[in-house]
Structure 1
Amino acid sequence: MTMTREHWLGYLMGALDEHEQASVERHIASDPRAAAEIEQLRSHLHLMADGLDEAAPPAGLASRTCALLDNPGLFAEILDPNVPKSPTAPERPNRAAFESLGGGGRPTFTLMDMVVAVGACIAAVAIFFPALASSRMLAARLQCENNLHQVGMALHEFATGNAEKRYPAIAAKGPLSIAGSYAPRLIDNGIIRHPETVRCAEMNRPGIDQELPTVEQLLKAPADDVERLQKRLAAVYSYNLGNLENGKLQAPLMKGDARYPVASDVVVVKDGQITPQAHEDGRFNILFDDGHVEFISLEDLPGPMKDYFFNDKGEVAAGLDEDDAVIANGIAHPLTEDNLHLVP
């Protein structure tokens, strides 16, 4: 006789006849692997037995079941009261008997059950929603970081396309005398194709004007319309204002410096306070001249990095020399060589 696990299970449960029982015992004696598998099955059966609770069946279960089997029409009547009653079926007492299977017909969902269910729902909400929020924040951060990487590549392409290897310049005066004016220049040059690339993912949401002005629109706009167009650039990444050289404003120079900041999430500086605007946890991404991006918290911000938002005079203005980098965002006063301040 070929031995199968069904035979071994029957052997363990005492369900085989004498001939089959003897065959299994001979097989166990001759095959150590079979003996090992049977012992494993035995251990599983013990675990199953340990998990079973002995419970007495409801009183009268057998008699009510037999009565129900003697009248099959009751099944249809119980499930659907509109089904015509079987002429041989007794009156409705059996329905009450059927309901008594649940414990006398009383409701089985008690107040304690409700409390447990509500508690489980509260626990699920407490676990799920923070995880969902954390996941959303992480996705926004990674999208923001990706956007800044693309901005970095666009800026490098712009710089390598000119002899001086400089990034887009902020004008000293006029409609382009704002930190965000680099964005329409990159877009107009075809280096960046999608306006959302120059904004953090958290800033690409309903309620923020998504349409960015072109350089031509800014230059040709009537004087009373310039400020409205400039405000559309308030949500683009903060940008390096450049520096003074022999009294003239120069565009930032591409040097490949890992500590020279080029752009960052929108950061507002007011009354000496640095306030990131994009991410809920108060941290922000910052792009450096070598192309890498760091996600930084204000608490962990090293002292020298705080100088990225002020020039060597402690002002939110263009740097005083080539190594004095200042990142800013906002609408500027008309700039001159003596007045290069931004208004947050």
Structure 2
Amino acid sequence: MHEDLLGYLLGALEPDEMQRVSEWLKDNPEGQAELARLERSLRPLEDGFEAIEPPSEDLLARTMAAIPEGIPPTSDEAVGRDYPVTLSDVELSRESTRPTSRWNVVDSIGGLLSVATLLALLLPTIAAGRFQARKAACQDNLRSLGTALLQYVTQDHQGRLPQVQPSGPEAFAGVYAIRLHDVGLLPDDQPQWCPSMDVPTQPQAVISKPNTAGAYRLPTAGELHQLSVNQLQSVQQYAGGHYAYNLGVIGDQGYSSPQYEGRATFAVMADSPVIGRDANGMATTRYAHGERGINVLYENGSVQFVSLDAIDSLRDNPFLNHAGAIEAGVNIDDAALAPSDIPPFKISVQR
């Protein structure tokens, strides 16, 4: 299975094989651990990859011009001839016994060009394969979460998505994961991490697993109200993993969670931007998948990869409401997503 996992990671398998390995990984912790180990071992190759400039069109002419005169070597008798030198004219045995030969210059140039060409062809293929494999694995995560959300909706008497409270300990986008886990629709009690992003250092025993010292688990919604301020802030930051969740909408009856309608353009979840600070204390924003784009899960269950350049041109920006704020949608068709620790309103009190 090691070869299948490597092919899955590089995106080198046939579509049906990719699906088979993906299904196998869902219920196989050992396979997931092995996939993570392979990913870590290949990460230096991708991180250190720099695109190699292809050879210029005049490389051959410049190379031939750089070869010293007299190659191939000729005998004294051949000097002055006005016809080409043939192999019979060359003293091959004498040339082969020389400690150094000017033929080595040509051999070296040719060898280096061959290596450069091979690397130029091979490394982009490997990097592209890893990108596609990680994007596909992340899309699988979102589809699984979308299936869980659909099951949650069918159990809710109003047919609504998980509620993000307007204030209090449950006023953060990542409470989606906790609500799914509370009703048994998210069997894994760990946050959901995107395969193309580094897993951050998790909080020390915010909520520990039974009989497992220091191991983090998702708390229940009820346990949120029993945590200290520092513990609650850690849970709010980590519970949603690397994903962004819908903050809710404001309708005729005021603020509430969105009612499920199966809309193809209403975003429910997406890869989350990661907010941090650089060495100078300036705010920075990083995106998954090599800053190329994000996966977006829509209400109808479809997952689409949207390039970062195209986000602002979408009819409904997934990370901003129609007022241009990172807050709940201003109407029932205004989808606004946010990272785990963001409340539905800037004035929300989260404790």
Normalising by structure 2, report the TM-score: 0.59
Distance 2:267 2:308 in 1: 16
Q: Say whether residues 1:264 and 2:270 are aligned partners.
A: yes
RMSD (Å), alpha carbons: 3.6
Contact 1:287 1:293 in 2 (8 A): yes
Pairing 1:250–2:252 present:
no
Q: CA 1:306–1:257 in 2, change beyond 3 Å: closer, same or farther?
A: closer
Distance 1:224 1:125, change over 3 A: same
Q: Specify whether residues 196 and 214 from structure 1 end up closer, same or farther in structure 2 by C-alpha distance, changes over 3 A only.
A: closer
- Residue 10 of structure 1 corresponds to none
- Counterparts of 1:267 and 1:118 in 2: how far apart (Å)? 41
**1:340 positional shift:** 5.1
Deviations 1:252-304 (A, max 9, x none): 2111111111111113699xxx9661121431111111101111113334645
In structure 2, relative to structure 1, the CA distance for the partners of 1:263 and 1:236 (3 Å cut) is same
> How many angstroms apart in 2 are the aligned matches of 1:122 and 1:166?
57
| Larger proportion of helix | 1
> What is the deviation of 1:160?
0.4
Opposite residue 267 of structure 2, the aligned amino acid is: P
Aligned to 2:152: 158
Is contact 1:179–1:241 with CA below 8 Å preserved after alignment? yes
Gaps of 5+ in 2: 1-85, 204-215, 277-283
Change (3 A) 1:323 1:340: farther
For 1:190, the equivalent position in structure 2 comes to 184
Q: What TM-score does the superposition give when structure 1 sets the normalisation length? A: 0.61
Letter in 1 for 2:185: I
Partner of 2:139: 145
CA contact (8 A) 2:192 2:240 kept: no
**Does residue 213 in structure 1 map to residue 213 in structure 2?**
no
> Any conservation in 2 of the 1:213–1:232 contact (CA below 8 Å)?
no
Q: Is the 8 A contact 2:165 2:171 kept in 1?
A: yes
1:74-223 equivalences under 5 Å are 103-104=96-97, 106=99, 110-194=104-188, 198-203=192-197, 205-209=198-202, 211=216, 213-215=218-220, 216-223=222-229
Partner of 1:317: 327
Displacement after TM superposition at 1:193 (Å): 2.4
Give the drift of 1:195: 5.7
Separation (CA, whole Å) in 2 of partners of 1:288 and 1:310: 15
Q: Which letter maps to 2:163?
A: A
Show the counterpart of 2:303: 293
| 339 and 110 in structure 1: CA distance in 2 versus 1, 3 angstrom threshold | same
CA gap 1:304/1:123 in 2 versus in 1, 3 angstroms: closer
CA displacement at 1:173 relative to structure 2: 1.7
Q: Which amino acid aligns with 1:150?
A: S
- CA change 1:118–1:209 in 2 (3 A) is farther
Give a deviation string over 1:72-91, Cα, whole Å, max 9, x none: xxxxxxxxxxxxxxxxxxxx
Larger C-alpha radius of gyration, 1 or 2?
A: 1
Determine helix, strand or coil for the equivalent of 1:287: strand
Distance 1:341 1:244 in 2: 18
Counterpart in the other structure of 2:3 = none
2:296 and 2:274 map into 1 onto residues whose CA distance is 14
SS at match of 2:297: strand
Q: Which has the higher contact order (CA 8 A, sep 6+)?
A: 2
Identity %: 25
Summarize deviations over 1:100-141 as a string: whole Å, max 9, x none.
699336467823322322222222222211111111111111
Runs of 5+ consecutive residues of structure 1 not aligned to the other structure: 1-53, 60-99
Listed one character per residue, the Cα deviations across residues 306-344 of structure 1 (whole Å, up to 9, x for unaligned) are: 4432223322111223222211114235x67x93599xx
Distance 2:106 2:325 in 1: 65
| Structure 1 residues 194 and 118: CA distance shift in structure 2, 3 A | farther
SS in 1 for 2:152: helix
Q: Match for 1:180: what amino acid? A: G
- Provide the C-alpha distance between the structure 1 equivalents of 2:325 and 2:312, rounded to a whole number of angstroms: 18
Q: Structure 1 stretch 324-333 or stretch 157-166: which is displaced more?
A: 324-333
In structure 2, relative to structure 1, the CA distance for the partners of 1:329 and 1:220 (3 Å cut) is: same
User: Which aligned pairs between 1:277-288 and structure 2 lie closer than 5 A?
Assistant: 277-288=287-298
Q: Matched residues in 2 for 1:290 and 1:160: separation?
A: 14
8 A contact 1:159–1:166 mirrored in 2: yes
Could you say if the C-alpha distance between residues 188 and 268 of structure 1 is closer, same or farther in structure 2, counting changes exceeding 3 Å? Answer: same
**Which of these residues, 209, 232, 237, is aligned with residue 231 of structure 1?**
237
Number of residue-to-residue matches in the alignment:
245
Q: Return the alpha-carbon distance in structure 2 between the equivalents of residues 170 and 164 of structure 1.
A: 15
Question: 1:240 and 2:246 equivalent?
Answer: yes
Q: Which residue among 342, 347, 351 is the counterpart of 1:339?
A: 347
In the alignment, what sits opposite 1:21?
none
Deviation at 1:235, TM superposition (A): 3.4
CA–CA distance in 2 between the matches of 1:165 and 1:116?
68
